[in-house]
Structure 1
Amino acid sequence: MKKNLIPLALGGLGIGTTEFVMMGLLPDIAKDFNISIPVAGHLISSYALGVVIGAPLLVIISSNFEPKKVLIALMAMFTIFNGFSAFAPTNTALLIARLLSGLPHGAFFGVGSVVASRLAEKGKQAQAISLMFAGLTIANLLVVPIGTFVGHHYSWRYTFGIVTLIGIITVICLQLWLPKLPISRAGNIKSELALFKRTEAWLIILITAIGTGGLFAWISYIAPLMTDVSHFSANMVSYIMILAGLGMVVGNVIGGKLADKMEPAKACIILLFAMAATLVLIYSFSGIQVVSLTLTFIAGALSIALATPIQILMIRTAREAEMLGAAATQAAFNVGNALGAFFGGLPIAAGLGYNSPSMVGAVMALTGTLFAWLLIKKQKSVAVMAY
């Protein structure tokens, strides 16, 4: 990994940890504040809402500043609000802190994606962006399980202390190792917001929110799937999540290479179709433990493999609003998180099995391939008109 990309990966490590560790900490936080787990679950929704609000807003506000200063400011904000989370005296205070700590998430990945592509060697922009997302995958593989262990056996407050420490280290590394880059803003706020008048941009947002929502329909209910359908013990779930995290590490590398070797939209179609097929297999064969573990690894790999092609696709489509576009895809990922969990929960509420969310996810992933196909058709139409 190039030294100047390490701070971006560290930022992804901190962000990935604070986003995904909350799932494992909910019982501990609920017990500490004497609330139910569903009420504690609002902390996940609060963070996601912060991402959706902050991603476009902070990018627009910071567009006139040098990217290095923007990334340092965003990570400083992230660090401060995660520090507040560690000391939150009540559930309401923690809810607000989670909302605020989510604000810089999408903007950091949005600005960071553009910075990574500008620092990359020609023809390797996607692989450079995947190195930034490598931090997020390592978070799921190593730091999230460690943070969950610390939260269970000591205190969830220490876990947020770990995230805060990662944030501090990231700020220092950004200052020391990230080179200064010129401001690349070519227009103004009005011209950048014109991005959302483009059909291509909305198709990419739909690919992200609906297509990747298929992953969240599956992973949101992976614990009961593994215990009630695959018949693993509850103690095995954390190790199974590590297996999914290992898949994400592998998938991140594959996604970066794939997006550099072919058109990102075609890469999205291939990966989304593969995800749909994998989710159908999960629905059909999760009762066989060895097959269930294998499919968990594959699904984890496919989930994160999509991140880089989608980000490259939006950066190329956004033209004079690259950072805003890249941040918008991060907001869309979190919309997909919410939609997948919601739609995946409907068949369970209707009395179907815990493998049923996987079929919902397969339908969402296939819908994503449809939007990707429409995007390719639109791109060809625009190219013909331009010619």
Structure 2
Amino acid sequence: MSDAPVSRRVYKFAVFALAIGAFAIGVTEFATMGLLPHIARELGITVPQAGHAVSFYAIGVVVGAPLITTIAAHMDRKLLLLCLMGLFALGNLASMLAPDATLFNIARFFSGLPHGAYLGVGAIVASSLVAPHRRGRAMARVMLGLTIANIVGVPIATALGNMFGWRSAYALVAALGVLTVIMVAVAVPKVKLAGVPSARGEMKALGRQQIILTLVAGSVGFGGMFAVYTYVTPTMTDVAGVPQVAIPWVLAVYGLGMTAGSLIAGPLVDKSIERSGIGGMILSAIVLAAFGAFTHIAAIAIIALFLIGIAGSMITTALQMRLLRDSHDAPSLSAAMNHAAFNLANALGAWLGGIVITAGLGYRAPAWVGVGLCLLGLIVLIIAIALRRGDASNRSTVEV
């Protein structure tokens, strides 16, 4: 995009500004799970019904990621980022003010629309500010905002919700959105668009077999984690016997697992993208089964949440690298669609988890739904790997 790398000071300031937006997105996406009982009580609905807000946000991401990224393909990147974060702030302000469940769900949908496009475009902008050999690091530092959100932001938002009511958490996120708009306006330099593919070209790239299968594997396989995490607060309080005041610390444990997983996933993916993806799916299924079987033992349930975080980072990193490898000619849209895929998993997991709880199967049941989703995702991923190897073998035969 840009012709040459910017100074180190400008780069650091710009990446920090972009990471604040990623932090805000991470907080609003995951804090809702910790606040479901409070939301349900005030809005006069059940916890599974409150869980629909998680699905509506995720559907917003799924709709917004390809739509906004494609429509705004030729828009100035900095202006696009400002518009996206402005919409994000307004959506969370509307969430805070929503008087009933219907309007709350609508507000969550609009809050999710800019999610994938912001993270995708923000990562590409960050990578354009440095030399080619440092671009992966630049993208990772923007995404670090998501990881830190799970360690620090989500527990703080949950604690605020416990003390001052759930609306205060969305007020915090809206304020973070406004701060991001200011920071991006001041810190992020304008970048030149070069070689931007047409909307038709980007969509054509995403129509490839391997990209579709990777997105499906993520949409299904990662849903296992969300089936459990969406209802983690009532599960830990009602089944594991963890006090409500300790829930922010439980959520921080999951965030630490995601961080550890990110550190582990990097070297593993460098060695083998395919084995890392398969390993993450298998680990996730095993740990979710352990969570379902031993939820009543708080210590084991908390350790399982830590391991679920590790497995989740392994899956997301491996599938993101798979997408980048197979859609190098549509980087912005593929990055946005990766977030869309995982938010489709969010919607699917939250919905299926709510169904089994509503059916009277209890708060352990979502873990077993999660196991099934992980195994389905694993099957799709294995099929994708087998087809890719078959194509490579056929090309080698033709060349010989």
In the superposition, the TM-score normalised over structure 2's length comes to: 0.85
1:44-66 per-residue CA deviation (whole Å, 9 max, x = no partner) reads 33222211111110001111123
Distance 2:28 2:294 in 1: 32
Distance 2:361 2:45 in 1: 28
Q: Which residue of 2 aligns with 1:210?
A: 220
Q: Which residue of 2 aligns with 1:226?
A: 236
1:180-208 per-residue CA deviation (whole Å, 9 max, x = no partner) reads 33324443222221134311111111111
1:290 CA drift (Å): 2.9
- Structure 2 unpaired stretches of 5+: 1-10
Task: Out of 54-63 and 210-219, give the one that drifted further.
Answer: 210-219
Is 1:319 aligned to 2:366, yes or no? no
The answer to whether the Cα contact below 8 Å between 2:215 and 2:338 also exists between their aligned partners in 1 is: yes
Identity, % of aligned positions: 36
Decide whether aligned partners of structure 1 residues 239 and 62 sit closer, same or farther in structure 2, where only a CA change above 3 A counts: same
Distance 1:197 1:190 in 2: 11
1:370 CA drift (Å): 2.5
Correspondences of 1:1-387 after superposition (within 5 Å): 2-35=12-45, 37-119=47-129, 125-259=135-269, 261-345=270-354, 347-348=356-357, 352=361, 354-384=363-393, 385=395
Task: Out of 339-348 and 3-12, give the one that drifted further.
Answer: 339-348
The answer to whether the Cα contact below 8 Å between 2:51 and 2:354 also exists between their aligned partners in 1 is: no
1:119 CA drift (Å): 4.7
Distance 1:348 1:41 in 2: 11
The one-letter code matched in structure 1 to 2:75 is F
Decide whether aligned partners of structure 1 residues 279 and 87 sit closer, same or farther in structure 2, where only a CA change above 3 A counts: closer
Decide whether aligned partners of structure 1 residues 309 and 171 sit closer, same or farther in structure 2, where only a CA change above 3 A counts: farther
1:59-84 per-residue CA deviation (whole Å, 9 max, x = no partner) reads 01111123333222211221233233
Decide whether aligned partners of structure 1 residues 270 and 122 sit closer, same or farther in structure 2, where only a CA change above 3 A counts: farther
1:2-48 per-residue CA deviation (whole Å, 9 max, x = no partner) reads 44322232111111111222233344444545555555444333222
The answer to whether the Cα contact below 8 Å between 1:251 and 1:302 also exists between their aligned partners in 2 is: yes
1:165-186 per-residue CA deviation (whole Å, 9 max, x = no partner) reads 2112222332333343332444
- Structure 1 unpaired stretches of 5+: none
In the superposition, the TM-score normalised over structure 1's length comes to: 0.87
The answer to whether the Cα contact below 8 Å between 1:185 and 1:321 also exists between their aligned partners in 2 is: no
The answer to whether the Cα contact below 8 Å between 2:281 and 2:377 also exists between their aligned partners in 1 is: yes
1:245 CA drift (Å): 1.9
Task: Out of 127-136 and 330-339, give the one that drifted further.
Answer: 127-136
The one-letter code matched in structure 1 to 2:34 is G
Q: Aligned Cα RMSD in Å?
A: 2.8
The one-letter code matched in structure 2 to 1:237 is I
Task: Out of 351-360 and 164-173, give the one that drifted further.
Answer: 351-360
Distance 1:356 1:88 in 2: 30
Decide whether aligned partners of structure 1 residues 85 and 228 sit closer, same or farther in structure 2, where only a CA change above 3 A counts: closer
